[in-house]
Structure 1
Amino acid sequence: MNKTAIISRTVWVLSLVSLCTDIASEMLYPVMPVYLKEIGFSIAAIGILEGIAEAVAGLSKGYFGTWSDNTGKRMPFVRWGYGLSAISKPMMALLTYPWWIFIARVVDRTGKGLRTGARDAILVQESTPSTKARVFGFHRALDTTGALLGPSLSLLFLYYAPQQYRQLFLWAFIPGIIAVALTFLMKDTGAKSQVKKQWPSFKSFYQYWLQSPSAYKRLTGALLVFALFNSSDTLLLLKMKETGLSDTALIGVYIFYNGIYAILSYPLASIADKIGAKKILIAGMVLFSIVYAGMGIGGNIIWYLLLFLLYGAYAAATEGVSKAWIASIVPKENTAAALGTFSGFQSIAAFLASSIAGLIWVILGASFTFILSAVVSLLVVIYIYRKTT
């Protein structure tokens, strides 16, 4: 790493890789449920498919993160991870048999599991203690820019080619393969492994948690409780839909949110490097509480734009900053395992959160669902303030 540069060449390239990959993924995000229904999937089958896919991603992150640490190598995991995600896009369009679609989704999520821990370890390696949050924030900013451009390109394509979903999947392969090509501009500079065993056991997806420092357990434990009450953004969009907003307005609000997220990620990370990750993370989680309480109240399009402005700020203040904080409290040689394990548990918690929120919504109503999440998040804030350093 060039110590004189806050953002090194490697971080730039890796961030561009994430940007291209997110463009490919987010091009398909708005149409995936519609496409699956069109080729014969029921709502229940879609739920099962996505649940299994996310479970694969979650369980594999800790495993492959540990494997990366054991071998001391990063780039093979990064290249294969992004490569699998890229080839999954045209796979979805070539055949429409249920088992084939299932394989394609598992391939995509396995790719995410492969790359996550190793990629985050590279970001840590390319930073210093005083720039760690900024490096993660910069990467998150470009990644989220992909989430902004992807749906926009999808809307543009479908405007000129309505319902041509299979063609859209093929077009999404282009940014995906560009991402893979960019990975060859990076070299593997990971430290040599001090561990003789290179193939971790299956239980590695949770094993690091058992042997991790107490500071890691306290912080990630609190963040995982928070994740259990942080349901899918789909429920936020559904809440707005129930108040009468059009589909165009919903997508517009979602794009607006991603724009705020991308714009604020690096500035808030810079502040975190100066005043501490803990303060920025807590501030972000307080914003989350405000947003969810506001969703429980409801309102018009202006109200929701204000809430999603705050929601974008919350995301920018927490995603990269939390990883930077975690990386600062674990041994360097365990970085990929620590971040991969946390990301894996976080994926599983996110899946459970949407299931729990959906059940509470049906039984007690939308307002109670959002307000409960707001209250629990404030309790987590209090715990992090008092019990972490």
Structure 2
Amino acid sequence: MFSGISGNVLILGVVSFLTDVSSEMIYPLLPLFLTTVLGAGPAFLGVIEGVAESTAALLKLVSGIVSDRTRSRKGLVLGGYALSSLARPLVAAATGPVAVLAIRFADRVGKGVRTSPRDALIADSSDPSVRGKAYGFHRAMDHAGALVGPLLATLLLAGAALDLRTVFWLSAVPGLLAVLLIILRVRDVERKRTSDGSVLGAIPRDGLRRYLAVLVLFTLGNSSDAFLLLRASQLGVSPARIPLLWAFFHLVKMLASTPFGALSDRIGRRRVIVAGWAVYALSYLGFAAAASEPACWLLFAVYGTFYGMTEGTEKAFVADLVPAEARGGAFGWYHFAVGVGALPASVLFGLIWERAGQGAAFLFGAALAALASILLLVLVREDPPEAQSPRSS
């Protein structure tokens, strides 16, 4: 499993695991905390999430471009993780909804600062022949943290009879361990910095631009997974079983990510991405037609496989399409494109659901995935990954 995985990639995977454990000890409980303890309504929760995710999407672009023009990607990675890890547990001390908004904003600023430089550092630290496996491994560790975090929070709440605020404070422990690992074990990789300091120098080149345009189209049909949980409740999954279904979903993503990332190293990124988008379309068609709870569990397994096939592979493809000195900006544009597509995607899906029914909404998502698959094959050429190996790990 770890063959070909460099020291940097291994440590960054553990860092993501610990950070997601910390994050997921809080955020599944945040709606409950806001509404029952702090007295906020659903509208304010929407404001918090909208501000947070929009901020992160923009900063991922900026930090990626900056990381290409500075000597140290590690500095941005460390700063971003440190800000999130210090801010996140302060939810425990919040006395009003506005305080939670400020904390959530700081947390997402940290995510925006670290994500693109970290993804570029993974590429800097990986041999091109195992790049897909490296990103798949990193996503697997991230999903493992998303699986462990809620289970740990449940154990502390139900088993140890702790209150919400105490659980939030305890989330600081894995977050701070992640920061310590970055300080002690992550190393910058020697690389050529970009020589173009202009704004135009940060605009994606032709191959990446076409890839991102297709990706935006796909993302417009990729609505929030909250709609899948709503569909699950319609299919008879009880509130008590929803967390188990969600944990099962993360387990599938965790198990699928590394093997499919490695597969993309052998047969090419486009094939795996197109196959993954086809699996997505099939799962959405299934959600439109499903009529029972067992079908829902099967569809969540199929949908989780889509994530395993595409998350790491899409990032490896970004790294393949640009030279080493432009990777940070490329990942910035990648995350920005996904963010731009994701913002209206859920609005569109919700409107179609309300006006034409859930079946039409899922068919819309499946149709965009099919169209994006065709366009990816037609418009985006896949060249072999660059032959050079990283100088250190």
Residue 194 of structure 2 contacts residue 326 of structure 2 at CA under 8 Å; is this kept in 1?
no
Of 214-223 and 94-103, more deviation after overlay is shown by: 94-103
Please tell me the residue identity of whatever aligns with 2:8. T
Give 1:246 shift.
Answer: 1.1
**Structure 2: which 5+ runs fail to align?**
382-393
Partners of 1:163 and 1:47 lie apart in 2 by 28
Residue 53 of structure 1 contacts residue 106 of structure 1 at CA under 8 Å; is this kept in 2?
yes
What SS is found at the alignment partner of 2:359?
A: helix
Give 1:163 shift.
Answer: 8.2
Judged with a 3 Å threshold, the aligned counterparts in structure 2 of structure 1 residues 387 and 178 are, in CA distance, closer, same or farther, namely same
The answer for the alignment partner of 1:32 in structure 2 is 30
The answer for the alignment partner of 2:370 in structure 1 is 378
The 5 A counterparts of 1:311-326 are 311-326=303-318
Give 1:244 shift.
Answer: 2.7
Residue 71 of structure 1 contacts residue 195 of structure 1 at CA under 8 Å; is this kept in 2?
no
The answer for the alignment partner of 2:4 in structure 1 is 6
The partner residue of 1:301 within 293, 312, 315 is 293
The answer for the alignment partner of 2:112 in structure 1 is 113
Give 1:364 shift.
Answer: 1.6
What SS is found at the alignment partner of 1:130?
A: helix
Partners of 2:153 and 2:89 lie apart in 1 by 15
**Structure 1: which 5+ runs fail to align?**
none
Q: State the TM-score, normalized to the length of structure 1.
A: 0.93
Residue 208 of structure 1 contacts residue 338 of structure 1 at CA under 8 Å; is this kept in 2?
no
Please tell me the residue identity of whatever aligns with 1:370. F
Residue 54 of structure 1 contacts residue 109 of structure 1 at CA under 8 Å; is this kept in 2?
yes
The answer for the alignment partner of 2:45 in structure 1 is 46
The superposition leaves residues 113-153 of structure 1 with CA deviations (integer Å, 9 ceiling, x where unpaired) of 11011100111011122111011111111111111111211
Give 1:208 shift.
Answer: 6.4
Q: Does 1:261 align with 2:253?
A: yes
Partners of 1:17 and 1:208 lie apart in 2 by 31
Partners of 1:350 and 1:114 lie apart in 2 by 19
Of 119-128 and 345-354, more deviation after overlay is shown by: 345-354
The answer for the alignment partner of 2:151 in structure 1 is 152
The partner residue of 2:280 within 273, 278, 288 is 288
Please tell me the residue identity of whatever aligns with 1:341. W
The superposition leaves residues 241-286 of structure 1 with CA deviations (integer Å, 9 ceiling, x where unpaired) of 1233112221111111111111111111111100001111111110
What SS is found at the alignment partner of 2:369?
A: helix
Judged with a 3 Å threshold, the aligned counterparts in structure 2 of structure 1 residues 271 and 196 are, in CA distance, closer, same or farther, namely closer
Alignment RMSD, CA only? 1.8
The partner residue of 2:359 within 363, 367, 371 is 367
The answer for the alignment partner of 2:179 in structure 1 is 180
Percent identical residues: 34
Give 1:296 shift.
Answer: 0.9
Judged with a 3 Å threshold, the aligned counterparts in structure 2 of structure 1 residues 164 and 364 are, in CA distance, closer, same or farther, namely farther
Residue 24 of structure 1 contacts residue 175 of structure 1 at CA under 8 Å; is this kept in 2?
yes
The superposition leaves residues 190-233 of structure 1 with CA deviations (integer Å, 9 ceiling, x where unpaired) of 42534485xx8xxx6xx667x32211111111111111111111
Q: State the TM-score, normalized to the length of structure 2.
A: 0.92
What SS is found at the alignment partner of 1:248?
A: coil
Q: Does 1:140 align with 2:139?
A: yes
Partners of 1:129 and 1:6 lie apart in 2 by 10
* Count, aligned residues: 378
The superposition leaves residues 41-61 of structure 1 with CA deviations (integer Å, 9 ceiling, x where unpaired) of 211111111101100000110
Partners of 1:384 and 1:148 lie apart in 2 by 32
The answer for the alignment partner of 1:355 in structure 2 is 347
Partners of 2:223 and 2:161 lie apart in 1 by 31
Residue 73 of structure 1 contacts residue 190 of structure 1 at CA under 8 Å; is this kept in 2?
no
Give 1:161 shift.
Answer: 5.6
Partners of 2:337 and 2:330 lie apart in 1 by 11
Judged with a 3 Å threshold, the aligned counterparts in structure 2 of structure 1 residues 326 and 192 are, in CA distance, closer, same or farther, namely closer
